[in-house]
């Protein structure tokens, strides 16, 4: 048996990232792989964690710790219980290791940095399905990552993007 893959999933705990996690679990992840949930905090607030880990991102956080009450407060995140349940279930049934890494800054740049830092074999991100004007004004994280990441990237359309 060869070395197992490191699969990154960009997560902001929205419906779109829920779709990306679900797609990765149902179509990509295999027994023994590692899923690294990557959350990028674009907040400008100076927190102790940002001061400590701002340049390198947090240490890898085991799945079990994401459910602890203190951790979300410490890092200023609001994990989606449905995503945590899906990752927890996948961890147990498929013998997949699940960890989380939190970065601070521009999501486009930090997701590409994560590919290098974490030596990801592939990355799955969601797409909000912005219209042409909004995408032009705001930029598209998924488009930037597809263009600049050094590993294969899968973009999963979220529920809002799938509606006619």
- pLDDT value of residue 25: 94
121 occurs within a structural domain? yes
pLDDT digits (tens, 9 = 90+) for 72-113: 777 878 888 888 899 999 998 988 999 999 999 889 999 999
Whether 36 is in a domain gets the answer yes
Report if residue 1 sits inside a domain.
no
Q: Given CA atoms 86, 91, 96, 101 in this order, what sign does their dihedral have?
A: positive
d(CA 36, CA 91): 12
Q: Is residue 29 part of a domain?
A: yes
Range of the domain at 97: 6-162
Whether 122 is in a domain gets the answer: yes
Q: For residue 51, give the CATH number of its domain.
A: 3.40.50.620
**What is the pTM assigned to this prediction?**
0.85
pLDDT of residue 24: 96
Q: Report if residue 131 sits inside a domain.
A: yes
Our count of domains for the chain comes to 1
Q: Which residues in 80-91 are b (16+ Cβ under 10 Å) and which e? A: beebbebbbebb
Grouped pLDDT means (10 residues each) for the chain, 164 residues: 82 87 94 94 73 83 80 79 90 91 91 96 82 47 90 82 43
On whether residue 42 sits in a domain, the answer given is: yes
């Amino acid at each position: 048996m060869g070395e197992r893959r490191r699969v990154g999933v960009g997560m902001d705990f929205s419906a779109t990232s829920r779709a990306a996690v679900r797609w990765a679990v149902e179509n990509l992840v295999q027994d023994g792989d590692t899923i690294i949930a990557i959350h990028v905090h674009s907040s400008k607030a100076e927190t102790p964690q940002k001061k400590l880990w701002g340049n390198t991102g947090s240490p890898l956080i085991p799945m079990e710790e994401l459910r602890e009450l203190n951790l979300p407060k410490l890092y200023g995140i609001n994990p989606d219980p449905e995503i945590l349940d899906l990752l927890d279930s996948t961890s147990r049934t498929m013998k997949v290791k699940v960890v989380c890494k939190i970065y601070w800054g521009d999501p486009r740049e930090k997701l590409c940095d994560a590919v290098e830092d974490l030596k990801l074999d592939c990355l799955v991100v969601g797409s909000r399905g912005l219209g042409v004007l909004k995408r032009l004004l705001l930029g598209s994280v998924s488009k930037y990552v597809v263009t600049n990441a050094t590993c294969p990237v899968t973009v999963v359309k979220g529920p809002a993007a799938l509606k006619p």
